[in-house]
Structure 1
Amino acid sequence: MFSILIAGRLPQINFQQVSETQFVIPISDTDHVNHLVVFMTGQIPFPENYGGGGNWPSAEGPSWIFLGKITNVKPSAIFKIGKIKDVESQIGSSLAPTLFSGFQHQTAIPTDGLLGISVEPLSQLDQQIQPHDITPSTVASNVEFVSKMLNNFVNYVTSFVQNVPGTSEQIVPLSIVQTWYNNFQRRINENPNFWK
């Protein structure tokens, strides 16, 4: 169902199923791996309203760091793993959800790393947060965020436009801008991915 691709290597499909909904694949020589591509092979789709969460084992215990997701609609993703050790040393393992609890970081194949995929409802995957600086920060993603934020701002604010009597000028009360800002801050604190 899944495969991974690391630059300079052949695609790998040797995922091991460790539970009904959890799969792992060993990755060797992770010191020379910055990014890996995870993709569905197209042979078996996810059940409706389900997707796969990519996870990397935390160095500090049996918990895992959420890297991102793949779905039937978005069947591939690039995960940045090169900075995980640096980020972990700065933020600790508190961000890592407890997944694959029955699976110890052991495998018969020599490995430096292990990628896990957990099949979960999309609603649960959407609530998981990727640690800062682990996922690739792409210009396209930043542009999409800014575009959606500004469209939301303009649509909200222009619905409160008032004409200035005797002129062709239009104004928006500052309190409207402040209300939009407060609402946006609240929503992004509740779910950083709400804008998607």
Structure 2
Amino acid sequence: MFGCVVAGRLLQTNLQQVDETHALFELPNASTINHLCVFLLGTVPFPDGYGATVHFHWPGKGFQLLGMLSNDKPSAIFRLRGNFTPGASAGPVAFAGGVNPTVGGDVTAILGIAIEPLSQISLTLPDPGNGNGNGAVVVAARLADPSYLAEQIVKHLFNFLSSFVGTGTVDENTLVPMGAIVRWYEGFKTKLKNLGPGFLDRAMD
């Protein structure tokens, strides 16, 4: 389901399954790793409403949460050199049993992947602007709420129809041609197909 590439090395697909929701890659010669990419192989998608958090474990020095993956964000690049803070978090204990402290005199680190509900991931990664793809999680969690989704659709329609009124005040007596609603509906379907529902959480056109 997952692949991993360390910059300058061959593709790794030797994923080790820990349990139903946890898996890991061993990363030998970890002291030489600057960047790595984690991605979905495209063979098995996440179940609806689920994604995965990505964790880096330095033996004896703890876990660090790097970011996340989802069906809407199937790959992510992480910079380790200069960003990893030993002991930054306790991390998921499910990965700890797979840690092999040294191989060939250098440290073997662990890249852990934990499959979790998107709603739970959004609580762990609340900041959509931190560069780890967390915004996709937050948007997905919001849009999973039917009342929030309905409100955003209505706002989108209202903003679109307001453009036909010009500078006038919109009230209950304002008339809008039915053709405008048809054009909104067709444009809405096109955006939904091409961009997914996440476009509703961005600035309205």
Shorter-chain-normalised TM-score: which range?
A: 0.5 to 0.7
Cα deviation for residue 102 of structure 1 reads: 6.3
SS in 2 for 1:64: strand
Distance 1:108 1:48, change over 3 A: farther
The match for 1:51 is: 51
d(CA) in 2 for partners of 1:3 and 1:101? 17
How well do the aligned residues superpose, as a CA RMSD in angstroms?
3.1
Mapping for residues 22-37 of structure 1, pairs under 5 Å? 22-37=22-37
Cα deviation for residue 101 of structure 1 reads: 6.0
Runs (4+) of structure 1 exceeding 3 A deviation are 58-61, 95-99, 106-111
Aligned-partner residue type, residue 68 of structure 1: G
The match for 2:123 is: 127
Asked if the contact 1:58/1:96 (under 8 Å) is kept, the reply is: no
Asked if the contact 2:23/2:95 (under 8 Å) is kept, the reply is: no
Distance 1:79 1:50, change over 3 A: same
Aligned-partner residue type, residue 97 of structure 2: F
Q: Deviations 1:14-64 (Å, cap 9, x if unpaired)?
A: 010011110011011112111100000000001111011101125556x53
Structure holding more helix per residue: 2
Instruction: Report 1 or 2 for greater relative contact order, CA contacts < 8 Å, sequence distance ≥ 6.
Output: 1
What is the TM-score normalised by the length of structure 1? 0.56
The match for 1:19 is: 19
Cα deviation for residue 118 of structure 1 reads: 0.4
Question: Structure 2: 5+ residue runs without aligned partners?
Answer: 136-200
The match for 1:79 is: 78
The match for 1:97 is: 91
Aligned length: 130
Which of 100, 119, 127 does residue 106 from structure 1 map onto? 100
Asked if the contact 1:79/1:136 (under 8 Å) is kept, the reply is: no
d(CA) in 2 for partners of 1:136 and 1:32? 23
Distance 1:73 1:18, change over 3 A: same
Greater CA deviation, 65-74 or 106-115? 106-115
Mapping for residues 139-154 of structure 1, pairs under 5 Å? none
The match for 1:70 is: 69
What is the TM-score normalised by the length of structure 2? 0.54
Identity percentage over the alignment? 33
Asked if the contact 1:35/1:82 (under 8 Å) is kept, the reply is: yes
SS in 2 for 1:19: coil
